Amino acid sequence: MAAVFTDSNFDKEVLKADKLSVIDFWAPWCGPCLALGPTIEALSKEYDGKVNVGKVNVDENPNLSINYGVTSIPCVLFIKNGQVVDKQVGAAPKAAFDKKIQKILSA
């Protein structure tokens, strides 16, 4: 299951993590966000132990949205070594996320 990242655990769970983190910024009222949910869950199972995959509810964690300039959701950030290395705004097929993850992991 995808992790739940919050304003309080983001630093420890994402920024100080020793692996790539894929974070879905979403809200329960956002249709495209809900459509992307199963893809994020599938990625969390597929990359379990290799990649941190999780979600940030923008309504409950406004500071993270502000800090990362998230103005449109869904917005998926790819963070490695504390830095955003890629970004996907809007829903996309799972293959698009797989491609980005593989590219980052092989870099």
Cα(1)–Cα(94) distance, integer angstroms: 16
Reported as a single tens digit per residue, the pLDDT across 5-48 is 999 999 999 999 999 999 999 999 999 999 999 999 999 999 99
Residue of 33, 56, 76, 91 marked catalytic:
33
Domain locations in the chain as residue ranges: 3-98
**Confidence at residue 107, expressed as pLDDT on a 0 to 100 scale:** 87
Q: Strand ranges (DSSP E) for the chain?
A: 3-4, 21-26, 52-57, 75-80, 83-89
Mean pLDDT of the chain: 96
Mean pLDDT, residues 68-91 taken together: 96
Share of the chain above pLDDT 70, in %: 100
Q: Which CATH class is domain 3-98?
A: alpha beta
33's CB contacts (< 8 A; 6+ apart) are 24, 26, 27, 73, 74, 91
**Confidence at residue 89, expressed as pLDDT on a 0 to 100 scale:** 96
Cα(68)–Cα(89) distance, integer angstroms: 13
Mean pLDDT, residues 78-83 taken together: 96
Task: Verify whether residue 33 is a known catalytic residue.
Answer: yes
Residue of 27, 30, 85, 92 marked catalytic:
30
